[in-house]
Homo-oligomer: A and B are copies of this chain.
């Protein structure tokens, strides 16, 4: 079975994970993103990586092993960055700083690893069932982490009831992930987008004037 772990399986160097393997993954991610799962053949991946289809089997057991790795990397690398950034904050950081940091880091992570994250969002629903099921725990773990982040925001008070928190999380995730479809690094920066999103969600979560008692 081809090497399926990430941790230091160095060939000659200390923790080099094999340049060939990395090239195959990068190429696969780019093609899966653009052509979909079934639309990307092993010949396509091999061709763009400068080798023949049979050579891919030196690095991976099957097409599904490749796509499984692409899916995993797309989530875990963003997760790692967001967790590191949030843990680097002081315990007394307020809701705005906390959410700004998490959102900005999530956006940076996604756009820095575009082919993987975009491929993940686009092909997750069309990958063979056993690949999707094997990947689900990775997605769920990241989602649960965001539940924690928003709960930590809510602990600082001034928020509405529980239901708003779930909806706010779903809106926020959709808005963040949606940036992959339009953000090109033009006039507004990723940081500005993150701050706008944070503001929107925090405003939405605070107690608001009702219809019967509108704002002035």
Contacts and interface: CB of A to CB of B under 8 A. Distances in A.
Contact of A177 (B173, B174, B197): B174
A46 interface: no
Interface stretch (A18-26, A52-60, A79-87, A200-208): A200-208
With most chain B CB atoms within 10 A of its CB, the pick from A34, A163, A199 is A199
Nearest to A163: B188
A116 interface: no
B182 A170 contact: yes
Nearest to A166: B188
22 contacts: A33-B125, A34-B126, A36-B37, A36-B38, A37-B38, A37-B39, A38-B39, A39-B126, A122-B125, A163-B187, A163-B188, A164-B196, A167-B196, A171-B171, A173-B178, A174-B174, A196-B204, A199-B204, A199-B208, A200-B203, A203-B204, A204-B204
Given A171-B200, A200-B204, 6 more contacts: A39-B126, A168-B200, A170-B182, A173-B178, A200-B203, A206-B215
